[in-house]
Amino acid sequence: MHLPEDAEGRYVYVNQRLCELHGITPAQFLGKSDFDVNPPELAWKYRRDDQWVMAHEKVFEAVEEVKGKRKRIRIHIYKTPVYDSQGRVVGVQGVFSPLPDERATKKKK
């Protein structure tokens, strides 16, 4: 799932899987910020992470738990700076992948 955001944290690109996770359409997502689609405490965390990526021009990587429309899932997330043609940071692109449910994995053992 991709989460490209501009320097102000507004989504400029989304994919269908991210929209399904939140239960909204791409048209409802575009131009919104994390504060429009996440609980405040998560939105502040995501914004701080994005600002860190832009300020340090480094990759941010973490494993986090998020609540989708229907259930909580664990994700592995990578955030990287996005540059314009002059090499200036103009936003952040995040990619995340769902991780296997640990409970399901433990039950199989």
Question: What pLDDT is stored for residue 87 in this prediction?
Answer: 95
* Distance between CA atoms of residues 109 and 100, nearest Å: 14
Question: What pLDDT is stored for residue 96 in this prediction?
Answer: 82
Q: What are the residue boundaries of the structural domains of the chain, listed by start?
A: 5-108
Question: What pLDDT is stored for residue 102 in this prediction?
Answer: 63
pTM summary value: 0.78
Over residues 66-89, the mean pLDDT reads 85
83 strand-pairing partners: 89
* Distance between CA atoms of residues 53 and 46, nearest Å: 11
**Position 97 pLDDT exceeds 90:** no
Query: CATH topology for 5-108?
Result: Beta-Lactamase (3.30.450)
Over residues 48-66, the mean pLDDT reads 93
